[in-house]
Amino acid sequence: MTIIQFIIVGAALFSMGLYGVITRKNAVLILASVELMLAAVNINLVSFDTYLQDQLHSGQIFALFIIALAAAEVGIGIAIVLMIYRNRQSADVDELNLMKG
Amino acid sequence: METVTLTDWFREAANWAFMLIVFPTLFGAWRTVTSDNIVRAVLYLVVALGGTAAMFLMLGAAFVGWTVVLVYIGAVVILFLIGIMITRAPLGADTVLSHGSDVKVPAALLSVVLFGVIAWAMVAAFGANMIEPFEPTLTSDMANVLFDRFVVPFEVVSFVLLAALIGGIAIARKDDEGGER
- Summarised one tens digit per residue, pLDDT across range B91-114 is 444 567 788 888 899 999 999 999
Residue A44 lies in a domain: yes
Confidence (pLDDT) at B177: 58
Residues B11-28: what's their mean pLDDT? Answer: 91
Confidence (pLDDT) at B1: 65
Confidence (pLDDT) at B93: 47
Lowest mean pLDDT among B47-61, B84-98, B125-139, B158-172: B84-98
Residue B177 lies in a domain: no
Q: Do B26 and A13 touch (CB under 8 A)?
A: yes
Determine the structural domain holding residue A59 and report its residue range.
3-91
Determine the structural domain holding residue B65 and report its residue range.
6-172
Residues B22-38: what's their mean pLDDT? Answer: 92
Residue A54 lies in a domain: yes
Chain A residue with minimal CA distance to B90?
A: A89
Residues B135-177: tens digit of each pLDDT: 888 999 999 999 999 999 999 999 999 999 999 888 888 766 5
pLDDT > 90 in chain A, percent? 65
* Intervals of chain A under pLDDT 50: none
Residue A101 lies in a domain: no
Residue A100 lies in a domain: no
User: What is the total count of domains within chain A?
Assistant: 1
Residue B57 lies in a domain: yes
Residue B67 lies in a domain: yes
Query: What CATH number should be reported for the domain holding residue A74?
Result: 1.10.287.3510
Residues B1-19: what's their mean pLDDT? Answer: 83
Query: What CATH number should be reported for the domain holding residue B35?
Result: 1.20.120.1200
Give the A:B interface size as CB pairs under 8 Å.
260
User: What is the total count of domains within chain B?
Assistant: 1
| Confidence band of B178 (pLDDT split at 50, 70, 90) | low
Task: Mutate one of B118, B135, B159 to test the A interface: name it (highest A CB count within 10 A).
Answer: B118
Chain centroid to Cα B69, Å, comes to 10
Residue A74 lies in a domain: yes
Confidence (pLDDT) at B94: 53
Q: Which helix (H) or strand (E) holds A42?
A: helix A27-51
Provide the shortest C-alpha distance from residue A95 to chain B (in Å): 11
Residue A56 lies in a domain: yes
| Confidence band of B14 (pLDDT split at 50, 70, 90) | confident
Residue B1 lies in a domain: no
ipTM of the complex: 0.90
Pick from A74, A88, A86: nearest CA to A37? A74
Residue A98 lies in a domain: no
Residue B132 lies in a domain: yes
Residue A97 lies in a domain: no
Task: Mutate one of A8, A14, A22 to test the B interface: name it (highest B CB count within 10 A).
Answer: A22
Residues A50-77: tens digit of each pLDDT: 999 888 899 999 999 999 999 999 999 9
- Per DSSP, the three-state class of A32 is helix
